[in-house]
Structure 1
């Protein structure tokens, strides 16, 4: 199959790849959701959804690769994301691997577009269309489901990170009816000024811990006390809003319910 990628130019990939290495969690989850998990022969250390993924050998971290091990797997297709993985994908391409980068979405609709893209790449367009239709209905059902609360979102990524303009997470919050206090910020992802957060006095803080951390709610509550923030707090399960695979829509549903149960019902 010959195609032209926006970043890499002309690519020649197998028509029916059977030995796929996925280096991006969103891609791995999508392959499972499309019923292609039996074609997977390797994953990154950050690919752990669904649980069956853990049986696959680990080829890389998010940005570093075990080159000899990758060679031993004899992949006929390597799937990777853009964004943070940009340098790694360029190196893979430069070394001649059959690689296809799946773009970082700028809205939840971009997550759906990536499913369509992978369906076309792997010759399973009907399955991809069905999955997208199902997820689209779930996403549309959430439209304006919450009051226009002003919210501050914080990811724990070794320090606080939040979202501004052009982030799929920010667009998802807007879709729910919420107002991100940093919606006008020109960077999609950035380290916020915490004093500015306090000055903005959001109606709600949404905190997303790192995955697999013990007692994340207690940690988030301690942070609120340390910062002297009196704002209501909602804590996600970790790596949920930051994950842009098909499961994102279930996590968004859970967040909407959590906010409704915590704040809307009590108001």
Structure 2
């Protein structure tokens, strides 16, 4: 199909533009992808992998003769600088919220000349979010949730994660930190803060390595946390929650809600049987 609008040779330095372009049927424009890309699975078979997250094969990217490169956040600023210096047009998005992800889909769709298709896709995603939110509203109890993005040092979840936790039926225990766009501003220097917040559920998504509930439970003083005491430590795979793209709004929130809903119904069953433990309101 001839395409007359927008860039024709796109390199995606992160997964979300790849996932969006495939969802919109515009994958023929992609000539290179991130090595961390897992969605859609076919992309790994069809496209050359030319970058990680904080590094990229600049020479290989330039050899692909891209007319547009898409990246994300300040972490890829140096990669962007090198490509711009080589004469390549680069778009570094910096969206950090659910609304920002939806707008990102719209902007990318408009960029490649399929704004209507992008809007239809956004509508589908929003319908999924709405269905999760309706189910969450009906839950008998909202748990307190601690989401851990990294363990050394402890880093709590970014804004879109906290928003998805809320939509899924939980209350993030560090909402003020989630609003901070930079990871360094979401560091929890004192692990005792988590103990004092007493979350009912702990989600872990350590980007690039497997979440270890046993190590979390063994932290000094953490045995007093309800989530640790009750065995409510759950991994959410980073590709479906820490990528600011459709995956988080579809599979990520579904995974969150599944755990939250099960906890909530179990809590209600215990309450019906007799007095329950005191919880912070």
Category of TM-score, reference length = shorter chain: 0.7 to 0.9
Q: Would the alpha carbon gap of residues 98 and 182 (structure 1) be closer, same or farther in structure 2, given more than 3 Å must change?
A: same
Instruction: Provide the secondary structure at the position in 2 that maps to 1:184.
Output: helix
Structure 1: tracts of 5 or more residues without a match = 1-13
User: Matches of 2:110 and 2:152 in 1, distance apart?
Assistant: 37
Tell me the CA shift for residue 99 of structure 1: 1.8
Structure 1 segments of 4+ aligned residues over 4 angstroms from their partners: none
Structure 2: tracts of 5 or more residues without a match = 268-281
Specify which of 50, 53, 71 is matched with residue 40 of structure 2. Answer: 50
1:157-197 CA deviation, whole Å, 9 max, x = no partner?
65432136xx1111222233422111123634422121111
Specify which of 142, 146, 156 is matched with residue 152 of structure 1. Answer: 146
What is the match of residue 11 of structure 1? none
What is the match of residue 249 of structure 2? 249
TM-score relative to the length of structure 1: 0.83
Tell me the CA shift for residue 129 of structure 1: 0.8
Which structure shows the bigger proportion of residues in strand conformation? 1
Tell me the CA shift for residue 133 of structure 1: 0.4
- Matched residue count: 246
User: Matches of 1:198 and 1:153 in 2, distance apart?
Assistant: 13
When the two chains are superposed, the root-mean-square deviation of aligned CA atoms in Å is: 2.2
Which structure shows the bigger proportion of residues in helix conformation? 2
Larger Cα-atom Rg = 2
1:128-154 CA deviation, whole Å, 9 max, x = no partner?
011000001111222260533221110
Q: Would the alpha carbon gap of residues 136 and 258 (structure 1) be closer, same or farther in structure 2, given more than 3 Å must change?
A: same
Q: Is the 8 A contact 2:10 2:69 kept in 1?
A: yes
TM-score relative to the length of structure 2: 0.79
Q: Is the 8 A contact 1:82 1:103 kept in 2?
A: yes
User: Matches of 2:22 and 2:9 in 1, distance apart?
Assistant: 14
What does 1:154-173 align with in structure 2 at a 5 Å threshold? Answer: 154-156=148-150, 159-163=153-157, 167-173=159-165
